[in-house]
Amino acid sequence: MCDKILIIKKEIGSICAMKNITRLERYNLIKEKYLRLTKTEQVILHSECKRDMASIELLDDTIKFIETAFIAVGTIIAILTAIVSATHTLPMSDWKLFLAFSCLAVFYLILIIIVENIKASKLKRAGFLLDTIENVNEEIGLNI
């Protein structure tokens, strides 16, 4: 069975990703595709777009997880430092320990930057799509 909503959603998503057209052209293309759907299908697509926006917001949880992992590693290093200070045995030089921790910190920061960029990109596209659908719904008098 053909999932018309999914096909239109993918086509609309590719239109949102186009860079060589104006916003008005993008809006008109999305509107044209969206109006191919029946009223019921339009309601379903609108609801899916709202859920997509909510799921993108869940990327904040990923960022919090990364930050928590960074804090945990920092705590473990602090505990190891206390143990080393008490026993006066150092498995590696201070410089190597500092370098290892610095590399770990940079790695976590890069992870956070990547997740934030993915979130911003997806949020921009999904937001434009949702705004367009809501504007078209107002034009055609579809109250959702």
How far is Cα 31 from Cα 137, in angstroms, rounded to an integer?
A: 10
Domain ranges of the chain: 4-140
Per-residue pLDDT tens digits for 18-39: 889 998 999 999 999 999 999 9
Residue 90 has pLDDT above 90, yes or no: no
Higher pLDDT, 90 or 41: 41
- Model confidence, pTM: 0.69
CA distance 32 to 100: 55
pLDDT exceeds 90 at position 100? no
Dump pLDDT digits (tens) for 116-125.
898 888 888 8
Per-residue exposure over 2-21, b if at least 16 CB sit within 10 Å of its own CB, e if not? eeebeebbebbeebbeeeee
pLDDT of residue 93: 66
User: What was the pLDDT predicted at 25?
Assistant: 93
| 57-66, 72-81, 101-110, 129-138: range with lowest mean pLDDT | 72-81
